[in-house]
Amino acid sequence: QSDSMEEGAKFISFQQLEMSSIERGDVSIAMTGDAFDLLVYLLQDDLDSLTARVLLSRAVVFARMSPQQKQKLIEFLRLDERLMVGFCGDGANDCGALKAAHVGLSLSPAEASAAAPFTSSSPSIRSMVTLVREGRAALASTMSSFKFMAMYSLVQSISVLWLYQSNS
């Protein structure tokens, strides 16, 4: 596999791919598992570097990846603390990536559902949109409850202080 990596590195070095156009967002990247392995090889496992962050942030499609590549990709994406990483999988080979993601959604009622925090009975990617919507609604409800409890405690404390002050 090392020979194919070196050939891939030579191929990329001959390409006129400008990092400035990638950084500006003029380019979107579709990355296969082989391309991901090549990126890991070229950067010597230093995917926390600026180059790797820029390339991975511009990738919009990741395809034909092995279970190990999926898990490694999720782990590298999680290195950026600004990102909330979600993964949607439909089989047992997705268990590692489902566990590694901040939000894992299994589209299979089988064994992958044990690894994922969320499971959908519908085998559609639209379930991720529903999950995000429900998560935001739960956050809004939780914040409203917290505000109510904080205000209730404040009013109760002021009432007790007022009663104590008036010697009642």
How many Å apart are CA 135 and CA 109, to the nearest integer? 21
Residue 38 is predicted with a pLDDT of: 85
Give the Å distances, CA to CA, from 1 to 8, 52, 96, 99.
Answer: 11, 21, 24, 28
pLDDT band at residue 141 using 50, 70 and 90 as cut-offs:
very high
The SS3 call for residue 41 is: helix
Mean pLDDT confidence for 35-63: 78
How many Å apart are CA 87 and CA 73, to the nearest integer? 11
How many Å apart are CA 96 and CA 72, to the nearest integer? 9
Residue 42 is predicted with a pLDDT of: 78
How many Å apart are CA 112 and CA 124, to the nearest integer? 15
The beta-carbon contacts of 50-57 under 8 Å, at least 24 apart in sequence, are 51/19, 52/76, 53/80, 54/19, 54/22, 54/23, 55/22, 55/29
pLDDT of 130 higher than 60: yes
pLDDT of 15 higher than 50: no
**What is the share, in percent, of the chain residues with pLDDT greater than 90?**
29
Residue 144 is predicted with a pLDDT of: 97
Residue 22: both structure tokens together: 């990638």
How many Å apart are CA 32 and CA 134, to the nearest integer? 31
Type of residue at 57: S
How many Å apart are CA 108 and CA 115, to the nearest integer? 11
Most confident of 5-14, 51-60, 116-125, 135-144: 135-144
Residue length, the chain?
168
Residue 138: both structure tokens together: 């739960």
Ordered alpha helix ranges (H), 89-125: 95-100, 112-115
Residue 112 is predicted with a pLDDT of: 54
pLDDT band at residue 14 using 50, 70 and 90 as cut-offs:
very low
8 Å CB contact between 88 and 107: yes
